[in-house]
A = this chain, B = another copy of it.
Amino acid sequence: MECVREIFARHHLRCTKQREAIYNALRASEGHPTAEALFRQVKPSMDSLSLATVYNTLEVLCRAGLVQKMPTTNGCCRYDADVREHLHVRMTGTDEIQDVPDELGQRLLQHQPAEVLQSIERALGVKIEGVNIQLIARPRTSDSKPQNGTH
């Protein structure tokens, strides 16, 4: 994984312990943590850390294009250190969001019909800059169709 220091330098961001720790925690995280969750995760190893710094840092990283902020319906936002165009799955019920494995996600993104997108651009008089796809899914429980045990 590339050195945070260099990434920050390239984006003209000061490299502080706090930013480094927060960004690393976010990059390492499996899911898409909230600011609170990141705070709780980093705080133990940096007792002086304040929640405001987490928010400030996340905002800076978002503005620099290093982090993606994702709204949820339940009030708080979630963050993602992967800023490439990729797919999310939101579980009904919880507001947990997980990534779709890249190979599969790319396949879906590549199937978007350019021709339809162009029609939409013309119809609305806009330039489409991204396609954000979120799948809504329910976990396959034992009482529904059997699953493949992939995991």
Interface residues of A (CB under 8 A from B): 69-73, 77, 87, 89-92, 98, 100-101, 104, 107-108, 111-113, 116-117, 119-140, 144-145, 147-151
Contacts and interface: CB of A to CB of B under 8 A. Distances in A.
Contact of A140 (B90, B116, B126): B126
Contact of A128 (B70, B113, B135): B135
Most buried by B among A120, A131, A151: A120
Given A108-B112, A122-B150, A131 B133 contact: yes
A137 B89 CA distance: 22
Q: How many protomers of this protein does the assembly include?
A: 2
B126 A137 contact: yes
A144 B127 contact: yes
Contacts of A92: 129
A137 B148 contact: no
Q: Is the interface of A mostly helix, strand, loop or mixed?
A: mixed
Contacts of A116: 104, 107-108, 111
A111 B138 CA distance: 22
Nearest to A108: B116
A42 to B, nearest CB: 22
Contacts of A129: 92, 136-138
Nearest to A72: B71
B128 A136 contact: yes
A90 to B, nearest CB: 8
A137 B121 CA distance: 9
